[in-house]
Structure 1
Amino acid sequence: MTLLTTWPESGPETTVRRTSDPAEIAAALAPLGVRYEQWPVRPDVPFDADSETVFAAYGPEIDRLNAQEGFSTVDVLGLHPSDDPGFPAKAKAAREKFLQEHTHDDDDEIRFFVSGSGIFYLHVNGEVHAVLCEKGDLLGVPRGTTHWFDMGTAPSFTAIRFFHEEDGWIGTFTGDGIAGRFPDFDTITAGYRA
């Protein structure tokens, strides 16, 4: 289930907002320019589905969003635990990169979660908004918005990524260590799902 938690940027000692109601989440994020939608979940799509399966299952939704936005690239990214001995190092490197606060100067960051989950932390107007996205959630972070993403220490998700620019994901890192002051994916999901 999706969860939005908002704190002052000074730290998580005080919670400004905590809700799992999709309408409240959308209403809270809209003034920030953040797109939040829920798409139908396709139960016949495996959690580790390949691109072809994902595109076939979500074609109408992808086409609708592409008609509105005119993306140059739409792809599928999956990161799931495997027997590959290199997986832990790969997952750790990916997590460390995205855990650093950054912006995107030339593109929005739009993701739809086909399976699994991740948390986008939006640092806007003196607050940090942690948006736990799960299967069926689409989140669009506007270009120029400071944010970071946490997939946890044992990442498992498949997401559709939408890009206006052909270069794909290009982050401009702020150098701020703010991400280290807030509860991470593992902490939030452990408390939420307990």
Structure 2
Amino acid sequence: MAILTIPDKQTVINDPAEIKSFLNARGVIYEQWEAAVPFADDADQDTIIGAYAHQLKPYMESNGYQTADVINVTPDHPQLEMLRTKFLSEHIHTEDEVRFFVDGEGMFWFNLGGGEDIFCVTCQAGDLISVPANTKHWFDMGPKKFVKAIRVFIDQSGWVPHYTESGVDQQYNLN
């Protein structure tokens, strides 16, 4: 279950309906999904995607997404720091960034501008988030440094980060 944090207001929201309302009002899609069938922690990509196909397939079809894969980053991953650092700086993508968390967690930070406070959504198992194209954000694996997620794409080239170099992320990132 997700946790929404607005650090500058010292606000933490744990209620899924309240989180969904907050994010949807800002153009960010948030949903919670459950697997149709149980699967083992070491399940392969096809098994994981198959377990969520009853929700994933209609979601992809209705939004024009073409492909999905599974990313699994654990604390002992040989390129952990490189992967973590790549997305810690504020950036945008030219297509939506859609992630469904199968296990672990990840922190999406948002800088929407226009007087909005910076906020963070910590996504956990069962949480789907869709960050709209061209939305300023950054991502941290959080203290657990464990993310197993389904990634959804129209075209993977649209997922390349374009860094803003604003530096705002440095005020909020964990060490």
Give the TM-score normalised by structure 1.
0.82
Map residues 80-119 of structure 1 onto 2, 5 A cutoff: 80-82=74-76, 87-88=77-78, 90-104=79-93, 106-119=94-107
* Secondary structure of the corresponding residue to residue 138 of structure 1: strand
Cα distance between partner residues in 2 of 1:102 and 1:57: 31
Closer, same or farther in 2 for the Cα pair 1:127/1:113, shift >3 Å?
A: same
One-letter code aligned to 1:102? H
Map residues 1-194 of structure 1 onto 2, 5 A cutoff: 1-7=1-7, 12=8, 14-15=9-10, 17-41=11-35, 44-82=38-76, 87-88=77-78, 90-104=79-93, 106-125=94-113, 126-152=116-142, 154-167=144-157, 169-182=159-172, 184=174
Cα distance between partner residues in 2 of 1:22 and 1:50: 29
One-letter code aligned to 1:4? L
One-letter code aligned to 1:121? W
One-letter code aligned to 1:119? M
* Secondary structure of the corresponding residue to residue 111 of structure 2: strand
Residue in structure 2 matched with residue 190 of structure 1 by the alignment: none
- Identity among equivalent positions (%) equals 38
Q: How many residues align?
A: 173
Q: Which moved more, 1:123-132 or 1:150-159?
A: 150-159
Cα distance between partner residues in 2 of 1:46 and 1:168: 31
One-letter code aligned to 1:178? V
Q: Which moved more, 1:135-144 or 1:59-68?
A: 59-68
Closer, same or farther in 2 for the Cα pair 1:133/1:40, shift >3 Å?
A: same
Residue in structure 2 matched with residue 192 of structure 1 by the alignment: none
> Shift in Å at residue 41 of structure 1?
4.7
Q: CA RMSD, aligned part only?
A: 1.9
**Is the Cα–Cα contact under 8 Å of residues 111 and 140 in structure 1 kept in the other structure?**
yes
> Shift in Å at residue 70 of structure 1?
1.6
Closer, same or farther in 2 for the Cα pair 1:41/1:56, shift >3 Å?
A: closer
Gaps of 5+ in 2: none
> Shift in Å at residue 153 of structure 1?
5.3
> Shift in Å at residue 42 of structure 1?
6.2
The runs of at least 4 aligned residues of structure 1 exceeding 4 Å deviation read: none
